[in-house]
Structure 1
Amino acid sequence: MDSKQLNKWLKEIKVQNQVNADVEVVNNSPLIMLGKGRQGAVFQVSEDVCVKVFGNEEDCEREHYALSLGKDTNLFPKIHAKGQLYIAMDIVRGVDIREYLQSQPLTESLSAKLLVMLITFKAIGYERIDHHKRQIYLQPDGSLKVIDVARTVWRDRVYPYPRKLLTSLGEENKAIFLGHVQELAPEVYAEWLHYIRMEEISHQIYQILLPEKPDKDSLKNLSKQLLTTEDEGKYVAQLQGLVHKVFKEEWVKTMLARGTDPEDVMKKIDEYWDSRETEIVREGERIGDRDQDRDQNKGKRFVGESRRDVDKHHNRKRFEGEKYSERDRKGGPKNRKHHHS
């Protein structure tokens, strides 16, 4: 293959990605386009070599990586050259499984080959152990070849069974294929069936949840049970726990970064918080004694304080962000009516 000539031709080809559609192609080169899809377009370079031109670099890198993982198998086309937006590779001939099954039955032998294909995907490190039937080609010697493998790698989430393959086979051939898998690999069949049933249940749950609307008023009232700042004792305890947790996490990170032994770090943290808890208990006892004295003085905080002074401090916020109650707002100084005699 003449790489210089290929690069010259590729300068005359523009491929642009489209939203939820096949790429848009402008071809001013002498190369014949064999087909196109969501990621790129394929052009014939010679009798045995084609070049796939991509709409973006990420898809090109992704497919090249996926093909490279399978370079030591006979399942994928051989790579001849790679550029920023293209991959030159063997032309895959034969008939794809979609066309084949339109006139031929799905035999146990073919099902076994599809199962081996999935095993190979797993062995070489693919993340999506799945493929659409139109991207799987049956060769004259009975072997399989696979194209368009970019989406098998660099994925965050995948189905735990070959959902795309099973769905693309259609209901009849899906049942036949699963029957063959049950005979050939019963444990795999049982696991796939489990996931299929979980998916069916998920669909049923969605149909139940979709029309369901929550009772907002009831939920608003019930959710008050989750509030923690109304009870000052609980609020202080939970705030202390939060600070304790954050302090502990950050201290551990800092000490480990300094190379300190984790057990020593945890021991020091426990000792520190034991001493702090003792101080807090003592402080709580002092506050309790003071509150008791205040109650005995009819709500006064100190001898000689008037009831009006107590009321003045009644609405003071205990923490940042606390809101006054509706009653307090209505009875506040701005809303209080004055009567003049």
Structure 2
Amino acid sequence: MNNCGLDLSECKFLGEGHHGKVFLRKDGKVIKICTTVRSCKSEYLILKKVDGSKYFPRAYKYEYLYMIRDYVGGECMRDYIKTHGLSKRLAINVIKLLEEFKRLHFTKIDIRCKDIFVESKERVMVIDPKGCYSRHKNYPAHLMKGLKNSMYLDKFLRVLKNERPKLYKEWILQNNLK
């Protein structure tokens, strides 16, 4: 038993981040044990609010320091693009994810590369949604910094400019990023 009273003996440890540890259950769902009640409740409420979006795992249960939610497979985008590069398809899927943030009325239109998981056919999913409705950012600064560090920012911006010229103008030109 852990400090939440959960028996994790039949669960597989998947990983650990700033906000908690994640374990895979036999039924294919995950248990995320959070470091604080506040971070756990906040993430759970965000996942419930965006329930039905194809970009977020479904949350099933919240108890004090842990939640049960769907498993997100694949590889974190930061690592994925190091070995596979940034294809046009992946860039478009990330742009669509950011458009989904707007559709969901997020006040933070940003995400870190490490919080995007790339699944088969370069489908993207969000893990660790934080500050989506409490922080204010009208363009994806953290994402662009991660892409710049991986040497793929220029390619991403070319795809953005060609596929979504209005967004390019809104994010890049209006924020003096180019």
How does the TM-score come out when normalised to structure 1? 0.48
Q: Which structure shows the bigger proportion of residues in helix conformation?
A: 1
Matched, 1:188 2:163: no
Equivalent position to 2:99, from 99, 110, 119? 119
Q: Indicate yes or no: 2:157 matched with 1:178.
A: yes
| Structure having the larger proportion of residues in strand | 2
| Contact 2:61-2:68 at 8 Å conserved across structures | yes
The answer to whether structure 1 residue 81 and structure 2 residue 35 are counterparts is no
In the alignment, is residue 11 of structure 1 matched against residue 11 of structure 2? Answer: no
| % same residue | 23
Change (3 A) 1:42 1:190: same
Distance 1:142 1:32, change over 3 A: closer
Separation in structure 1 between the aligned mates of residue 12 and residue 87 of structure 2, nearest angstrom: 36
Match of 2:143 in 1: 165
Q: CA RMSD in A?
A: 2.2
Provide structure 2 residue ranges, at least 5 long, that are not aligned to the other structure. Answer: none
Larger Rg: 1
- Number of residues paired by the alignment? 176
1:42 aligns with 2:19: no
Q: Tell me, what secondary structure is at the counterpart of 2:152?
A: helix
- Paired residues of 2:37 and 2:64 also in contact (CA < 8 A): yes
Contact 2:112 2:142 in 1 (8 A): yes
Displacement after TM superposition at 1:154 (Å): 2.1
Give, as a single letter, the amino acid of the residue that structure 1 aligns with 2:172.
Answer: L
**Alignment match of 1:103 (pick from 73, 77, 83):** 83
Higher RCO (Cα < 8 Å, 6 or more apart): 2
- 3-state SS of 1:46 partner: coil
TM-score normalized by the length of structure 2: 0.87
Cα distance between partner residues in 1 of 2:21 and 2:168: 37
Q: CA 1:36/1:153 → structure 2, altered by over 3 Å: closer, same or farther? A: farther
For 1:161, what is the secondary structure of its paired residue? Answer: coil
Indicate if the aligned counterparts of 2:15 and 2:23 stay in contact, CA closer than 8 A.
Answer: yes
Contact kept, 8 Å, 1:98 with 1:133, in 2: the verdict is yes
Aligned twin of 2:134 = 154
The one-letter code matched in structure 1 to 2:102 is K
CA distance in structure 2 between the aligned counterparts of 1:159 and 1:124, rounded to whole angstroms: 14
Gaps of 5+ in 1: 1-7, 14-27, 201-341
